[in-house]
Structure 1
Amino acid sequence: MVNGEIVGVFGIARDISEQKHFERQLSFNANHDRLTGLLNRVSLEDRLALDCHITRRHKRRLAVMCIDLDGFKSINDSIGHYYGDQVLIEVAQRMIQQVRPSDTVVRMGGDEFIVLLPDLLCDEDVVLVAERLMASIAKPYCVQGMDLHVSASVGITLSDGHIEQPMQLIQQADMAMYKAKQQGRNNFQWYTSDLNQRVCEHASLRNDLQKAIETQTLQLHYQPQIDARTGRVVGLEALLRWEHPEKGFISPAAFVPVAEDSGQIIPLSLWVLDTACAQLRQLSDQGVTSISMAVNISPMHFQRGHFVHYVQATLEKHGLRSEQLELEITESLLLNNADQAIETLHRLKALGVRIALDDFGTGFSSLSYLKRLPIDKIKIDRSFVQEIATDHNDAAITQGIISMAHHLSLKVVAEGVETASQMEFLKGSRCDVFQGYYFAKPMPFVELEAFLGFPTSMPDRQS
């Protein structure tokens, strides 16, 4: 200022663009998943409320999907979280590609995602989106030369937007997703009002199963395997049974998926293997030394890094020869990192343990993988045996399986043999071993001891 007049202005300027960028980055990180770049659960409530408003205003429909990946946990457990992270990143990209720009994909955490589909004209549109998402997710993931596989269980709920607590839609979709898991996975299910009761029953079953594992109140039953030529018992299959104190018999088909979802399958599998070997030791001490014990192996247990060591330690603990133990596997072991699974099988074979491929003929790649697997026998699935005497297709398939297996120097076990006509057909087709109700039902160990006390000729048919 000169003579009372302003002749200039002095100011200090500071570049705050870096600060603004940092603030934007903080805001982005607060609302987005750092791994996949998708919105996270923090953003979900606001976005859901907005979509409900849009749906109400346009008088249309809002669909909420809950998507959980099947088989993802086994990737993390068997080959590491890096591979799992790469799969999640690719899953996120594939999901974005299958929805509209106005739709929202959220990663809730782990391998669970939410998809919001606002402003829908008809319910059928949801089905198309669900099918596209499932097909896209199910395609192989190549990570550092490994082909990895996951699928998706999808739960869906619909709304007209008139709901006081929009987050209830997330709970409904989550319930429907668990129903999809229970229905065999890799499918989608709709929310219905009765699902609340089913979810409570599922939680109750999980808690009761945990108590049964801790108190060792589960049982193993054993079904004999019969040599087709001599009629002698040459093997036993250990089958898990649960007699609930209030609900009675609970099928493995009901509680094993619960155990797999909750992680209880690992301690359960450890108990089964240890108990089966302990009771085989008891039979050996009674002079029954020529019978093998077949134990079904959970893919989740098999893919654990110390599985081979545990098998070896269990055999040593009970003083069993390796060839007395037979591990039954299914092709689901090969879905993620088939090369590592085959390497593990070779290590088991090096111990002297026998390997059987269960449910043969029902898997996705029976023929392509058969020659690579270090197995000793295959088990023909009971679905082929049931109509074998009357259905020409089942008969032809079964004869083809037996012939192919013998050319590969593999033995063949037929499951589900229930009639004399089935047995005679299989015997004429040169099947090696029979297993089924025609010879014996699965029985507790005490009954098995009595059963094996009979003469070693072919047992009488059980009623």
Structure 2
Amino acid sequence: MICQNEFVRIDALRKLDLLDTPPSEAFDRITRMAARLFDLPVAAVSLTDTDRQWFKSRVGVEHDSIPRMHAPCSEVAEQYAFVVIPDLAASERYRDSLLAQQGVRFYAGAPLVTRDGHALGAMCVLGTEPRQITEEERDALTDLAAMVMAQIELQHALGRIDPISGLPNRNQYIDDFADLEKDWPRGQQRLAALVHLASPQQLGNAARVMGSSYLDGLVAEAVRSFREEFGSDGKMYHVAATQFIVLLAPHVGLASCTLRLQRWLDGSHSWSTSRFVTSPAVGIAPFELGAADSLDVLRMAQGAAHDAFANGTQLAVYSSTEDAAYRRRFTLVTEFGRALEHTSQLRLNYQPRIDLDTGACVGAEALLRWVHPEMGNVSPAEFMPVVEQTSMARPATAWVIDAALTQLRAWQDAGIDTLTLSVNVAAPNLLEPDFAAMVRAQLRTHGVAPACLELEITESAAMENRASADRMLAQLQDVGVRIAIDDFGTGYSSLSYLQSIPAHVVKIDQSFIRGIEDDERKQALVTAMITLSHDLGYRVVAEGVETAAARDVVRLAGADEAQGWLYAKALEPDALAQWLALHAADVAHAIPA
């Protein structure tokens, strides 16, 4: 049976460039040691390829490979485990194998496992007589396999020193961290600091204009000055192109570390010729020996450095709260992808829109809801901003449009044919060259007139990539759907752009509406926004109307429609149909509100 991650395992083997390479005395020495130690005629460093066992080193074997099928070394790689076969002739699996036919009776193999946990093959010994293996022999063969892997990694890494900075590299950091746990007491509190010499945008700009040699000089300057500040109080490792991590000495506490790092950052004018182009940031990760491994500490320090960039502080200490928030976002992205594959977790609710002159319901906004089997109800305010930054923005919007039009078609077939249905569109959707074609196809599939669908975009989305957005909005206008500017007043508005955007509706954000009945400044601002929108030819919807007093204010200010909890929260499809019937009856027997 081939292991589930066979493709990844084979890829790891190929990356090491070991297959079909010339013999190496470094490996042959270990293989000879294995044969002597076990007093057996055959020993080999066997690598498990897709269809063969290839011997990087061998003793007592003439050929350099055998078929993988029914080879015990393949079982070692597949199971990631030590394999002992006391007698191949007595083994149902191997009694007819090529090795058994050649007279091999005994086999023992220890897995060759990379740092990333991929089994490459086996350090194996074979004999022509049945025998058992002792615990001491098992440990010895395991040690020999570790020696083989150390040799493989040493040759592949071509040393442990980065040629640009002269610092130990990431592999050496991982090894040294493991030694820390052996040399110092478990539970000891230590600090690691990751220096990120420039933000991703700064790096991209600098490399594009001045080339990679500029970044090499930036690294050399920073390493030299950092060493002057910390001396022997920290060991530095070059872990990425413009990043190095420092493991601080046990006596360096957080207060002292923070002070010295800030001093180094403040002094960049004296050591950095790039101070006007790049700005470094440092993340500090406190950790406890034995409680976190090397990669955990590296991740925490990198997270703190990113927090420093985001906050504009240059220096930040790892925060478990911030870390949990980022992990939550990552989980949401992963789980939402699964939700799109199994859409039983997703559904749409609908919130009515009311004409303020007649009191009639003239439309509804489709709002995505996600019920995760373990996390429960996940708010769209939490997951949508994350989703919109990923490749899932396209399939998410496509699913919402399809589900909304399916429901609208069902309502129309049931005689509810006066609603315009609104769907939110993310900024990345406006960059999809076939987005308008997708919308047109969906309308045709469901048999819905384009004027019955309204796409809501935010000001920021429309302005983010204006040329592409303009082209897409023009195409959507040709399709015949309505366009609404959502959350009006919260983005970076351009009056000249608002004058030309092919929109039909402006939706004033609820932050301006809530509490408007008691706030004269809000009243003045909303009145001005409504007047401006009407002058530009837009119909105006006031979002977040929760009280009758707020409704009266926005109606007096000239708003055309209102949406909010005063009328209804977002409802399930059946509940909305019932609400529509009751509301129509109320409107028919009362003066329009």
Q: 1:275 to 1:125 in 2, by over 3 A?
A: farther
Q: 1:310 to 1:187 in 2, by over 3 A?
A: farther
Instruction: Report deviation, 1:289.
Output: 2.1
Match of residue 441, structure 1, among 545, 550, 569: 569
Aligned to 2:544: 416
User: In the alignment, is the contact (CA less than 8 A) between 1:413 and 1:431 conserved in 2?
Assistant: yes
Match of residue 244, structure 1, among 362, 369, 372: 372
Aligned to 1:89: 208
Aligned to 1:102: 222
Instruction: Report deviation, 1:340.
Output: 1.7
Q: 1:159 to 1:225 in 2, by over 3 A?
A: closer
Instruction: Report deviation, 1:338.
Output: 0.6
Q: 1:445 to 1:162 in 2, by over 3 A?
A: closer
* Counterpart residue type for residue 358 of structure 2: T
Q: 1:195 to 1:391 in 2, by over 3 A?
A: closer
Aligned to 1:277: 405
Percent identical residues: 31
Aligned to 1:208: 335
Distance between the aligned counterparts of 1:172 and 1:91, measured in 2? 31
Instruction: Report deviation, 1:107.
Output: 11
* Counterpart residue type for residue 265 of structure 1: A
Distance between the aligned counterparts of 2:465 and 2:489, measured in 1? 21
Instruction: Report deviation, 1:428.
Output: 0.5
Instruction: Report deviation, 1:102.
Output: 1.2
Q: 1:159 to 1:216 in 2, by over 3 A?
A: closer
Q: How many residues align?
A: 379
**Aligned to 1:362, what secondary structure does the other structure show?**
coil
Distance between the aligned counterparts of 2:199 and 2:446, measured in 1? 40
Q: 1:290 to 1:43 in 2, by over 3 A?
A: farther
Distance between the aligned counterparts of 2:359 and 2:492, measured in 1? 33
Distance between the aligned counterparts of 2:499 and 2:172, measured in 1? 54
Aligned to 2:450: 322
Where do 1:109-128 residues align within 5 Å? 114=243, 121-122=259-260
Q: 1:230 to 1:126 in 2, by over 3 A?
A: farther
Distance between the aligned counterparts of 1:380 and 1:287, measured in 2? 31
Q: 1:208 to 1:168 in 2, by over 3 A?
A: closer
Distance between the aligned counterparts of 1:92 and 1:380, measured in 2? 47
Where do 1:340-355 residues align within 5 Å? 340-355=468-483
Match of residue 309, structure 1, among 431, 437, 457: 437
Distance between the aligned counterparts of 1:423 and 1:396, measured in 2? 15
User: In the alignment, is the contact (CA less than 8 A) between 1:329 and 1:358 conserved in 2?
Assistant: yes
Deviations 1:268-326 (A, max 9, x none): 21110110011111111122222111100011223112111101101111111111110
Q: Which has the higher contact order (CA 8 A, sep 6+)?
A: 1
**Aligned to 1:102, what secondary structure does the other structure show?**
helix
Q: 1:422 to 1:60 in 2, by over 3 A?
A: same
Unpaired segments of 5 or more residues in structure 2? Answer: 1-157, 177-189, 227-237, 249-256, 268-273
With normalisation by structure 1, the TM-score equals 0.67
User: In the alignment, is the contact (CA less than 8 A) between 2:337 and 2:392 conserved in 1?
Assistant: yes
Q: 1:234 to 1:157 in 2, by over 3 A?
A: same
Distance between the aligned counterparts of 1:288 and 1:65, measured in 2? 59
Q: 1:197 to 1:381 in 2, by over 3 A?
A: closer
Q: 1:307 to 1:115 in 2, by over 3 A?
A: farther
**Aligned to 2:485, what secondary structure does the other structure show?**
strand
* Counterpart residue type for residue 222 of structure 2: S
**Aligned to 1:246, what secondary structure does the other structure show?**
coil
Distance between the aligned counterparts of 2:512 and 2:562, measured in 1? 14
User: In the alignment, is the contact (CA less than 8 A) between 2:427 and 2:464 conserved in 1?
Assistant: no
Aligned to 2:195: 64
Distance between the aligned counterparts of 1:251 and 1:66, measured in 2? 37
User: In the alignment, is the contact (CA less than 8 A) between 1:378 and 1:411 conserved in 2?
Assistant: yes
Aligned to 1:337: 465
* Counterpart residue type for residue 440 of structure 1: A
Distance between the aligned counterparts of 1:187 and 1:314, measured in 2? 45
User: In the alignment, is the contact (CA less than 8 A) between 1:155 and 1:174 conserved in 2?
Assistant: no
Where do 1:165-176 residues align within 5 Å? 168-176=296-304
Q: 1:65 to 1:433 in 2, by over 3 A?
A: farther
Distance between the aligned counterparts of 2:484 and 2:517, measured in 1? 25
Instruction: Report deviation, 1:249.
Output: 1.6
Q: 1:455 to 1:262 in 2, by over 3 A?
A: closer
**Aligned to 1:371, what secondary structure does the other structure show?**
helix
Match of residue 372, structure 1, among 500, 503, 518: 500
**Aligned to 2:348, what secondary structure does the other structure show?**
strand
Q: 1:321 to 1:236 in 2, by over 3 A?
A: same
Instruction: Report deviation, 1:372.
Output: 2.5
Q: 1:285 to 1:61 in 2, by over 3 A?
A: closer
User: In the alignment, is the contact (CA less than 8 A) between 1:48 and 1:116 conserved in 2?
Assistant: no
User: In the alignment, is the contact (CA less than 8 A) between 2:388 and 2:427 conserved in 1?
Assistant: no
* Counterpart residue type for residue 372 of structure 1: S
Deviations 1:17-39 (A, max 9, x none): xxxxxxxxxx9xx989xxxxx99
User: In the alignment, is the contact (CA less than 8 A) between 1:415 and 1:435 conserved in 2?
Assistant: yes
* Alignment RMSD (CA, Å): 4.7
Where do 1:7-156 residues align within 5 Å? 62-65=193-196, 89=208, 101-102=221-222, 114=243, 121-122=259-260
Comparing 157-166 and 186-195, the one that deviates more:
157-166
Deviations 1:59-105 (A, max 9, x none): 999443498869xxxxxxxxxxxxxx889836999x9799994169x
With normalisation by structure 2, the TM-score equals 0.54
Unpaired segments of 5 or more residues in structure 1? Answer: 1-26, 33-37, 51-58, 71-84, 138-153
Distance between the aligned counterparts of 2:239 and 2:436, measured in 1? 35
User: In the alignment, is the contact (CA less than 8 A) between 1:67 and 1:177 conserved in 2?
Assistant: no
User: In the alignment, is the contact (CA less than 8 A) between 1:62 and 1:161 conserved in 2?
Assistant: no
* Counterpart residue type for residue 224 of structure 1: P
Distance between the aligned counterparts of 2:207 and 2:328, measured in 1? 31
